[in-house]
Amino acid sequence: MTLDRWLGRLPIDSPSVLMKQVPTLVGFLLALTVALIPNFVPVDNLEFVWASIGLIVVATVLAAVVPWPRFHGAWIVVVPVLSLFAIGLLRLGTGGAASPIVVILLLPFVSIATEEGRRNILIATLGMFAVLLAPIFATSVPSTPVDLVRALFSPVVYLILATVVNEIAHRLRAQLIVTRAAAEQRAELLAHAVTAQDELVLNEARLKTANRLIQSIWNAVTEQSVIGTDLDGLIDVWNPGAEKMLGLTEKQVVEGRRHIVEFHLESELEDRLRDMDARFTTVASADDFSALVDTVRAGYADVRDWTYVRADGKLVPVQVAATPRLDENGHRVGFIFVATDMTQAREFARLKDEFVGLISHELRTPLSSILGYLELMRDDDESPLSDEQLQYLGVAERNAHRLLRLVGDLLFTAQVESGRFPLDITDVELSSVVAASVESARPVAGAAGVALVGEVPEQQVVVRGDAVRLGQAVDNLISNAVKFTPSGGTVTVSLRSGRDEAVIAVTDTGIGIPAVELSQLSQRFFRASTATRNAVPGVGLGLTITKAIVTAHGGRLDIASEEGIGTSISLALPVETPQPVVEALPGADARPAAGSVQGTAS
């Protein structure tokens, strides 16, 4: 093992000049040792022996001292050529052609022949030829014909041998280069493999950490139910929040192959399908699941109020956000429904509405008294007021009337949120209602520099409803349009009648509303960013009241708007008779159905 380790340290694949010289030096020393043994090898010329020793020493010193890598590779053969001549001199001093040390001439000969380049074949052959013929010319011993033939024939053999050795060395050298390149490539691949393995281990650790974090977050979501389904509505994801909200475990739901529509009120699904059918005739044959994902299939997220049905039959009001469920390639593979229990929020809203209704009712009485006394002061003939006092009185009256209208709006919205408000159902001729609203708004529109255009058909358009409330809804729409239209713009109010419904449309060329805010417009006190940015006055109740009135009449509110271009609001009322006892919008449902209510807020 010690010898193997020692040999393993030798640079055999790329030996130095000195290392190549070592075998020749060892062979020379052995031959010299044999020559010095008395009566073994005759030494007939000490001068040649000493000359050979000097020459071999010079060759060895050159091999050890000269920085051969700095020189061209062709100069490396200088050392073995000198060694070849040193052995030739030793041969001359130890018997000439009969000397037994002729065999060690192969050592420097092979060293020369193995060097890269075909010229080294010729150098090795000529050197060998000179050494072998030297005894004929350098000694006085007569040569026999056999010696001559051997001296002339041997170089030919050595030429063949040098050619073979040079070719073998050349091929071995090329193979060594290929092997070394392959070894380097393997080492590089191994390094990459080790790096990849380390990265894999690190990524695996990160993945486990991320999975634990996701699992912890998933288990911590207990106040919202997260339900995942395939494209057909079959449930395959059921989080702890869903288990808490609906009273069933994940195993019961997933292994039981439950469908998400099983946890919805059938009446709500039917109402949603009827609304879809009224707006898009292509969904007339849609199933119950389409009621939940119709908007999501169209490429939009959908947030809507629903009612969940627990396993024990208890109803839970929820707000559900429905989004598409995508795979790694971005393809839709199902749907995700995140639901928030709105029970407490609805109760808080109800209590708030009761409080607002109570406060509003209590404010109406002192406001009415204030207005009455202001009127008495204005009409007091015994103590007439000065012009300046009348001006102050007018300001007080205008603000009191404005406050009274705001209180009335608050009271009306409180009635809506409580679930009912009174309607006086009669036959209503819409043409006169629309014309009256247009005429009432003309002074305000004229003062604002807005052209108000009414397009009312000559024939009568009659629906069943509350004329006062419908007039209030149209007034709100026109008022909004005028407020949000800059001077020089136009507001167009049109009425058209179809077989199943009558549509009142108010279109303006105003500032419009950002698309991201359209779904919030029917929320109480919400005002579009364009309204606040342009300092348009209002409190954000007009569209809420209008939507409540339209919904109470069994109609719908459709709004299209583009920021900087304008807004179009359509109020559609059914021709058939609505129910006289009206339930308004659900208490906290201030969000329009997808594809319907979107637009400005007063």
Check residue 308 and give its pLDDT. Answer: 92
Give the CA radius of gyration of the chain: 54
358 belongs to a structural domain: yes
Report the Cα 560 to chain-centroid distance in Å. Answer: 32
CB neighbour list of residue 113: distance below 8 Å, 6 or more residues apart: 120, 121, 124, 161, 162, 165, 166, 169
83 and 134 share a domain?
A: yes
What does the alpha-carbon distance between residue 134 and residue 96 come to, in Å, rounded to a whole number?
8
Q: Which of the listed residues 341, 371, 396 is the one where a domain comes to its end?
A: 341
Q: Say what the pLDDT of residue 281 is.
A: 41
Name the phi and psi angles at 303, rounded to 5.
Answer: -120, 120
Residues 124, 252: one domain? Answer: no
Least confidently predicted of 98-112, 128-142, 273-287, 289-303: 273-287
Highest-scoring range by mean pLDDT, 219-223, 415-419, 529-533, 552-556: 552-556
Domain identity same for 352 and 337: no
Are 336 and 355 in a shared domain?
Answer: no
- Do 396 and 537 belong to one domain? no
pLDDT at 131: 80
Which SS3 state, helix, strand or coil, does residue 309 take? Answer: strand
How many domains does the chain fold into?
4
Rounded (to 5) percent helix, strand, coil in the chain: 60, 15, 25
Residue 288: inside a domain: yes
Residue of higher predicted confidence among 427 and 367: 427
Final residue before a domain boundary, out of 417, 448, 465? 417
Q: Examine residue 276 and state whether it is found in any structural domain, yes or no.
A: yes
| Cα distance between residue 118 and residue 162, in whole Å | 10
For 437-457, how does the pLDDT look when each residue is reduced to its tens digit (9 = 90+)? 888 888 888 888 888 888 888
Tell me the mean pLDDT in the region 152-158: 74
Any residues with CB less than 8 A from the CB of 387 and at least 6 apart, and which?
none
Same domain, 138 and 240: no
Whether the model pTM is above 0.75: no
Same domain, 43 and 159: yes
More confident call, 387 vs 184:
184
My answer on whether 337 and 353 are in the same domain is: no
Residues whose CB falls within 8 Å of the CB of residue 578, separated by 6 or more in sequence, listed in order: 425, 464, 465, 552, 553, 554
Residue at which a domain ends, from 341, 361, 388: 341
Decide if 586 is inside a domain: no
Percent of the chain with pLDDT over 90: 6
Candidate from 114-123, 143-152, 264-273, 509-518 with smallest mean pLDDT? 143-152
Q: pLDDT tens for residues 403-422?
A: 776 666 666 666 666 556 67
Is residue 548 a contact partner of residue 584, using CB atoms and an 8 Å limit? yes
Do 508 and 490 form a contact (C-beta atoms < 8 A)? yes
Residue that has been written with the tokens 């708030």 in this structure: 352
Q: What is the mean pLDDT of residues 228-232?
A: 91
On the question of pLDDT at 577 being above 60, the answer is no
Per-residue pLDDT reduced to its tens digit, 494-528: 888 877 888 888 888 887 777 655 555 555 545 55
Mean pLDDT of 106-134: 82
Domain interval for residue 317 = 224-341
> What is the Cα–Cα distance from 71 to 337, expressed in whole angstroms?
80
CA distance 33 to 8: 30
Tell me, yes or no, whether 65 lies in a domain: yes
Q: State the CATH number of the domain containing residue 389.
A: 1.10.287
pLDDT for 599:
34
CATH of the domain at 276: 3.30.450.20
For range 247-275, the mean pLDDT: 88
For residue 259, the model assigns a pLDDT of 92
Whether pLDDT at 602 is above 60: no
pLDDT score at 235: 92
Lowest mean pLDDT among 270-279, 532-541, 544-553, 583-592: 583-592
Q: How far is CA 580 from CA 206, 424, 554, in A?
A: 64, 8, 11
Measured CA to CA, the distance from residue 402 to residue 325 in angstroms comes to 50
67/83 Cα distance (integer angstroms): 18
**What's the pLDDT at 277?**
66
Taking all residues of the chain, what is their mean pLDDT, rounded to a whole number?
Answer: 77
The percentage of residues in the chain with a pLDDT greater than 70, rounded to a whole number, is 76
CA angle 117, 118, 119 (to 5 degrees): 90
CA distance 583 to 562: 33
Note the pLDDT of residue 264.
Answer: 92
Within-domain flag for 36: yes
Is 201 a domain residue? no
Q: Which residues pair with 302 in a beta bridge?
A: 322
Residue 115 pLDDT more than 60? yes
- Average pLDDT value for residue range 380-395: 77
DSSP 8-state code for residue 271: H
Residue 537 CB-density burial (10 A; 0-12 exposed, 13-18 middle, 19+ buried): exposed
pLDDT band at 158 (very low <50, low <70, confident <90, very high): confident
Q: Which residue would you say has higher pLDDT here, 296 or 412?
A: 296
Q: Is residue 145 over pLDDT 60?
A: yes
pLDDT at 531 over 70: no
- Give the pLDDT score at 309: 92
* Pair type for strands 224-230 and 332-341: antiparallel
Judge whether 372 lies within some domain: yes
